[in-house]
Amino acid sequence: MSVQLNNEPIILTSKQEAFTQDVFAGMYQRDAYIKNYNAENQTMETLDANASRLATSVKVKARLAELRDSRANQNIASVDERRERLTQFIREDIRTKHGLIRQSNTTAIDLLNKMDRIYEPVMQVNQDNRVLNIYVKNKETKELLEKVGDRAVKQVGQGEEEESEEVDDNAEI
């Protein structure tokens, strides 16, 4: 089997590939080594050292990474698979004792439209009714706030303007 590492192919021997496949399947490194290599006369320490050396080799590590990536990719539905499944939801009729239900159909259509970016982005403006009361201690500050209040203008409708802030006439001086 051919593996790419730094855009160059790395070729594993048949024994290395079999060892890698067994480790990927969940076998212990020692057991995979014994199964795929001639290990009859080796001590356990030698077996473990050889299995560890093989498992940490660049070739085997790259192939294991490739196998893990391919498994992960198989578990995730592609965009086309998701579109097909949502399309199935759109076309199916869901009948209950209360009649035909279209909720899942319209939700599927909404999701497909979002996936295809059919909706234009909507700017959301958060508006609330907060009131800001500023209490001042001296006359000079009150006059400054009145000037700021006079300059704060809010546009309403089509070009109409009105004051957006008011100065509290009961403010402390």
Q: List, for residues 96-119, the tens digit of each pLDDT value.
A: 677 776 667 777 777 777 777 777
Q: Give the domain ranges of the chain.
A: 2-75, 79-115, 128-173
What pLDDT is stored for residue 77 in this prediction?
67
Contacts of 89 (CB under 8 A, 6+ apart): 104, 105, 107, 108
Q: What is the mean pLDDT of each run of 10 residues along the chain (173 residues)?
A: 67 93 92 92 93 94 88 69 77 72 73 74 73 80 79 46 49 51
Classify residue 121 by its DSSP letter.
P
Helix locations, the chain, DSSP H: 14-24, 29-36, 44-55, 58-75, 79-91, 103-115, 139-151
What pLDDT is stored for residue 51 in this prediction?
94
